[in-house]
Amino acid sequence: MSEPQTFEIFLATVPGLEQVLCDEALECGFAGAVAVPGGVTFEGGWNDVWRANLCLRGATRVLARIGGFLAFHLAQLDKRCRKFPFGDLLRRDVPLRVQVTTKASKIYHAGAATQRVETALTDTHGLTLDPEATLVLKVRIDDNNVLFSIDTSGESLHKRGHKEAVGKAPMRETLASLMLRQAGYTGNEPVVDPMCGSGTFVIEAAEIAAGLLPGRSRSFAFEQLANFDAATFDKMKDVKPKTPPAQFYGSDRDAGAIRMAQANATRAGVDHLTHFANHAAGELTPPEGPKGLVLVNPPYGARIGNKKLLYPLYGTLGQTMLTRFKGWRVALVTSEPALAKATALPWKPQGPAIAHGGMKVWLWQTPPLR
C-alpha cells in the first residue's frame, strides 16, 4: 500500500487555548486547521508534520494519524495489525513503544490489545520494542475503530533546547507563547515582565520578534522514520533571523533568577535583545521608547507563597502599573480572581480557564492604561 498523500495531523496543546493555537496554525499556512478539545486538527502530509514541529510555538506535540481499521475482537486486531503497512514508516533498526487506549469498544482490555499489537509488530514486521523508546506508536480503539498515530515530536515541544536553568514554578515555553499571542503580542512592541523568574516570557517574546524557529536547536522523533528527508528538513530550518524593532525586559527580586534568565537568553541567542535587572516589582519603571505589553506570572499562593500575604504584592504591582505605565497593556496570569482584582487594574471580562501545572489559571488583560 502506498503512503497516503494527506492524512489527519493533530496538534496537542494546553486545554483552554485550542483556538489560540488554531489561529497560529492558520497564520503559519496550515490551511483548514480547526480547534477541537485538546488541540487542533488539519489534513496534511509529512512536510507539514516536519514544519509543524519546527515552526509552531504553541503546540505541545504533533501526532500523525497514519490510518486504521475496524476490529471487534483481539484475533481480528492481531490479523489486521499484521497486514497494516507499518514498514512504510517504521524502521527495524529504530526501537519504539506502543501505547493503547480503549473506549466504548468490544476490545475493552488495553493490556491485552497492547500485547496483540506488539506481537504483530515484532513477529510479522520485524520491529524492535523498547519501553524507554523515544518513538511512540499510539493506538486508540474507540467505538471499535482502531486508529494508529505516531507521536512525531518525541520530547514535548516546550523543550526548545535552550532553557537549562529554571525556578520553582517554571512557565512552559509553549504556554508562554500562547499567552503572548492571546494578549495581542505580534512581535512589534516591547514586552516587560516584572517577575520574570527564569525569563520565559521575555525570551519567548524576543524569539518571536526575531523570527527564530522554536524547534531550531532540538531533534524530533520523526527524524527516525523511514521517510525522513534530511536535506528537505535542513532547507526548512534555513531561516535568517530578523532585527526586531523592540527590546525585551525582565526583572525579579531574586538575583539567582536573573542569572538564570541571562544564561537562558544567551543559549537562545537573544541576549542582545533582552535586558534583565535585579529588583522588586514595586521599583519597576518603563523603558524608554514605545509603549507595549507588561506580561507577568506572579505567585498565586497555590504552590509558591501564602495567599493572604500576596494581596499587598498584587496591590503594589497594580499601583506601579497605574502610576508609571500609562499607555501600556497589562496581562496577568493567576489562579485566583480575587488576587487579580486586588491590583485595581481595569480588567477586561475574565477569559477562559487554562490548564497549568495541575490547576486552572486565567490570563487577565487590560486595555491600554489611561
Dihedrals phi, psi of 224, to nearest 5 degrees: -100, 5
Is residue 304 over pLDDT 90?
Answer: no
Mean pLDDT for the chain overall: 94
At 84-126, the pLDDT tens digits run: 999 999 999 999 999 999 999 999 999 999 999 999 999 999 9
At 237-257, the pLDDT tens digits run: 999 999 999 999 999 999 999
Is residue 169 over pLDDT 80?
Answer: no
**Neighbour count for residue 129 (Cβ, 10 Å):** 15
pLDDT of residue 166: 64
pLDDT band, very low/low/confident/very high, at 4 (cuts 50, 70, 90): low
**What CA–CA distances, in Å, run from 201 to 51, 85, 180, 213?**
23, 43, 8, 16
- Write down the domain spans for the chain: 7-151, 173-212+242-365
pLDDT of residue 308: 79
Residue with cell 513503544: 97
Q: What are the cell numbers at 162?
A: 535552550
**What CA–CA distances, in Å, run from 289 to 63, 134, 188, 191, 239?**
43, 46, 13, 12, 29
Q: Which of 59, 35, 148 is nearest to 101 (CA)?
A: 148
**What distance in Å separates the CA atoms of residue 287 and residue 293, rounded to the nearest whole number?**
11
pLDDT of residue 343: 97
**What distance in Å separates the CA atoms of residue 207 and residue 214, rounded to the nearest whole number?**
8
Q: Which CATH architecture has domain 173-212+242-365?
A: 3-Layer(aba) Sandwich (3.40)
Q: 7-151 with 173-212+242-365: one CATH topology? A: no
Q: Give the mean model confidence (pLDDT) for residues 11-28.
A: 97
At 259-283, the pLDDT tens digits run: 999 999 999 999 999 999 999 999 9
Q: Report the predicted TM-score, pTM, of the whole model to 2 decimal places.
A: 0.94
Residue type, 233: F
Element (H, E) at 209: helix 200-210
CATH code of the domain made up of 7-151? 3.30.2130.30
